Amino acid sequence: MPFANFKFLEGIIDASRKEEIIHRTTAMFVEYFGEGVRPYTMVLVEEVTDGGWGRADETLTLEKMGMKEK
pLDDT score recorded for residue 40: 97
pLDDT tens-digit map of 25-63: 999 999 999 999 999 999 999 999 988 888 899 998 888
The DSSP-derived string for 27-54 is HHHHHHH-GGGGGG-EEEEEEE-TTSEE
Residue 14 contacts residue 51 (beta carbons within 8 Å): no
Strands 58-60 vs 53-55: parallel, antiparallel or unpaired: antiparallel
Residue 43 contacts residue 2 (beta carbons within 8 Å): no
In this predicted structure, the answer to whether residue 69 has a pLDDT above a threshold of 80 is: no
Strands 3-9 vs 42-48: parallel, antiparallel or unpaired: parallel
In this predicted structure, the answer to whether residue 70 has a pLDDT above a threshold of 60 is: no
Residue 64 contacts residue 56 (beta carbons within 8 Å): no
pLDDT score recorded for residue 64: 85
